[in-house]
Copies of this chain bind each other. A is one copy, B any other.
Amino acid sequence: MHPLLKEIRHNPLLWLLVFVPALFAAHKLKPEAHTLHFVLSVLAIVPLAALLSHATESVAAKTGDTVGGVLNATLGNLTELVIALTALRAGEYTLVKASLAGAIVTNTLFMLGASFLLGGLKYHVQEYNKGNARLQASLLFLATIAILIPSAVSHADSAAGSVFTEKLSVGLSVLLIGAYALSLLFSLKTHREFFGSADHAEAGEAPWPLGLALATLAGVTVLVALVSEVFVESVQHAAVTFGMTPAFVGFIVVALVGGAAEMASAFSGARKNRLDLSVSIALGSAAQIALFVAPVLVLLSYVMGPTPMNLQFWPGAVVMMLIATMTATLVTNSGRSSWFVGVLVLMVYLIFAMTLYLLPPRI
């Protein structure tokens, strides 16, 4: 277990692991302290997500480029997937959808914008490989269309309309997963020369041995699942306590918590003038949630959820995803960035966050 302890000593984020047992203790001893549970579970998820992310990368590094790329591409958002699965099993479909849409928007706007800003404050102009940004932005565009079409076409809440939305959602989910699989074939196999080094692992960070990595992957996934259960339970109560709308919590808070580990890597890449890395993490992660995590959840809802979940999102969330995709397409078009590009992207995110924060409940 030496490398794991070394990692914990090196990475200050991992000191937060102490909140994992603290959460379980608090849940046992004070079962009604929902706000405390919420705060502790947020603090506990962050280091677990960082461990999951490192373990996935270590497995990926050991299994060769292509298999590793596929692993990274499917397990890279394992935290988001586990949180969403927990909410799915509890039948909290509004929270599932808000956290999915929020993760897409937060990765596309906040992670990308803050990377541009942090990089731009240090370097006058930064350049990055447009190829990858364009592929991920196109995939996001495709997913947004798939999510937009059911709402655009059917306004009816009739019985016929709901059967239609359900069937369509399954069909769209299969299409999206297919498109995602083909995009991996494209970027990892047939046209890999267009996609620069997208290795997430930092230089100097040695990958763990395979056994340790696999054990961590399994063990931490279980921990994330347990923590998520408390998190999903407490999140609505906490929202009331903090005076936040449920939309804001699902969209902004959950997304920031679930993506904390990736953000740390993206921002550190930007400060080291490796903007390729930052863009690839931010847009790649958003595309993965839109084309892999979301449709997988729709399909799993038939097995694990109380009722089937569809792909029809709240119209405001659809508009936000559409705008986020357009913003990413526009700003990554030139392959260059400076601080003001970051400001622009962050402003769009701020507009969304402010709107959701002020939104009266039940509208």
Contact = CB atoms under 8 A, between A and B. Distances in A.
Interface of A: 124-125, 134-135, 138-139, 141-142, 145-146, 148-150, 152-156, 158, 160-161, 163-164, 167-168, 171-172, 175, 178-179, 182-183, 186, 190-191, 315-316, 319, 323, 326-327, 329-331, 333-334, 338-340, 343-344, 347-348, 350-352, 354-355, 358-360, 363
B340 A183 contact: yes
A325 to B, nearest CB: 10
Contacts of A329: 330
Q: 10 closest A-B pairs (Cβ-Cβ)?
A: A186-B340, A160-B360, A153-B316, A152-B319, A171-B354, A179-B347, A168-B358, A149-B355, A167-B358, A164-B360
A315 B138 CA distance: 24
Contacts of A331: 138
A352 B316 contact: no
Given A182-B343, A338-B191, A348 B168 contact: no
A355 to B, nearest CB: 5
B172 A354 contact: yes
B191 A142 contact: no
Contacts of A178: 347
A363 B344 CA distance: 35
Contacts of A338: 186, 190-191
B363 A168 contact: no
B146 A363 contact: no
Contact of A160 (B139, B182, B340, B363): B363
Given A191-B338, A340-B183, A344-B142, A354 B175 contact: yes
B191 A340 contact: yes
A167 to B, nearest CB: 5
Contacts of A156: 363
A183 B339 CA distance: 10
7 contacts: A138-B344, A152-B315, A153-B363, A160-B360, A161-B363, A168-B358, A191-B340
A164 B362 CA distance: 13
Given A142-B348, A340-B186, A363-B154, A319 B148 contact: yes
Given A149-B319, A149-B351, A190-B340, 10 more contacts: A125-B191, A134-B334, A152-B319, A156-B363, A168-B354, A175-B351, A175-B354, A179-B347, A183-B340, A186-B339
Contact of A355 (B142, B150, B163, B347): B150
A171 B319 contact: no
A123 B171 CA distance: 31
A164 B248 CA distance: 14
A175 B344 CA distance: 11
Given A141-B330, A168-B358, A358-B171, A149 B179 contact: no
Contacts of A326: 141
B344 A168 contact: no
Contact of A359 (B135, B153, B350): B153
Contacts of A354: 168, 171-172, 175
